[in-house]
Amino acid sequence: MQDLKNRILANAVKAFNPLRIRIGGSLQDQVYYKVGKFPKNCSNFEKKSNGLFGFGDGCLHINRWDELHGLFNKTGAAITFSFNALLGRIQSDEDDTLWEGDWNQFNAKSLMKYTIKKGYKIDSYELGNELCGGGVAAKIKAQQYGNDVKKLKKLVTHMYPNPADRPKILAPGGFYDEQWFKEFLLTTGPGVVDGLTHHIYNLGAGRDPTLIDKLQNPFYLSQIAQTFINVENSAKLFSPSSGPWVGESGGAYNSGGKTTSHTFVNGFWYLDQLGMTSTFNHKVYCRQSLIGGNYGLLNTTTFIPNPDYYGALLWHKLMGKNVLSVTHEGSPYLRTYSHCSKTSGITVLLINMDKSTTFDVSVVDDLNIYPDSVESIHQREEYHLTPKDGNIQSDVLLLNGTPLKLTSSLDIPEMNPKLVDPMFPITVAPRSIVFATLRGFQAPACA
């Protein structure tokens, strides 16, 4: 159990204004919610050899729910809550990973009713974790799951009669399977699912000794693009109102890599995926996890931010919703992405995975809408991210050469750019990441 009153945790969440937090994961489909008289006994998770993921059922105490919302209210977080989707079902006699029968919504409705009564804000509800396709530890057939999501939609519509404050519906929260997703979306029909959530762990197991090589290999990282394209196409074809979301991704599964996932080098994968998913029309990207495992954005014991926390925060502050097409003629080890800036102009993200080559990047508008008079007025704002001592497995991140560390009052530090004459190219050092905001760049999509 994490200390929800930890000041660093609160400040780390607050800095995003807002940070989306998903409450869910492997054990969520074994959780009962202690609301009123149900369940009679509210016990913690205990190991069980024949249980899902090696555990028996557990219980969410209502006072813990109150404590969580105390943190969320204080920090302005946007909450996704994922319900237990196995409640009411039984395991198939023919396949013990297949769960059959209708979802029992009673416990979810009770928690929802309590949540509304207390005035707690929920951004979105999801049903189940990794139950689609072949599942992970358990699975549900697509048509059955689709009918249950319609049931959840009806419940949420009833409990939240005002559309203005009605939580969104997310599903299915698992790994992409084309036929299963198609059947599921045909069952729900349009207008039911608001976010088509899928999970990504394209780096393989955290204990893989080649993990550090994968993190720096642009050809390997690009292989997952086809999955993003497929999910985008499924949403367009069968449920145009539901944009695709990455509902969970930690890069490497089984808690990530002990010597990589909390260090600088992981940013090559992470920021590259933020850029890649944006180009394929994904609306949200949820990182596994905020705290916990080797892939947490915060250190599990000290709560001090890891390098990817700052990378995520810079992305959040600089990259707007409009994605721009960008190409370059250089090395494949230089990855480039560009969005309309959240304020004015554009922001480009440059990721140099090369061990020894420095790239000088000049930004040119294909439509030539970038007059010299505008260039001279606006200085370019650059954020150069490098690891301490040049060690890509360092968990200390340098911004423009200065270590990012908490202030004396445990606040997240200011992340100020260095100002550069826009007539000069952007210099991207070996094994570094650069965000650059060009205020005077007149991209038509950003008007």
CA-CA distances (angstroms) from residue 225 to 271, 309, 387, 425, 436? 14, 23, 27, 29, 24
243 touches 281 (CB < 8 A): yes
Residue 329 one-letter amino acid: E
Helix then strand then coil, in percent of the chain rounded to 5, is 30, 25, 45
Q: From CA 129, how far away is CA 53, in angstroms rounded?
A: 12
Q: Are strands 426-428 and 359-361 parallel, antiparallel or unpaired?
A: antiparallel
Q: Are strands 31-33 and 20-23 parallel, antiparallel or unpaired?
A: unpaired
Alpha-carbon 256 to chain mean position: 15
Burial bucket for residue 106 (CB in 10 Å: 0-12, 13-18, 19+):
exposed
Which tokens belong to 291? 């705290």
Q: From CA 79, how far away is CA 19, in angstroms rounded?
A: 9
Q: From CA 352, how far away is CA 327, in angstroms rounded?
A: 15
Question: Half-sphere exposure (CA, 13 Å, Cβ side) for 421?
Answer: 3
CA-CA distances (angstroms) from residue 292 to 51, 136, 299? 22, 20, 8
Catalytic one of 126, 232, 248, 382: 248
First-to-last alpha carbon distance for the chain, in angstroms, is: 47
The question of whether 67 is a catalytic residue gets the answer: no
Which tokens belong to 96? 């013990």
The question of whether 248 is a catalytic residue gets the answer: yes
Catalytic one of 130, 232, 381, 382: 130
Peptide bond preceding 289: is omega within 30 degrees of 0, i.e. cis? yes
Catalytic residues: 130, 248
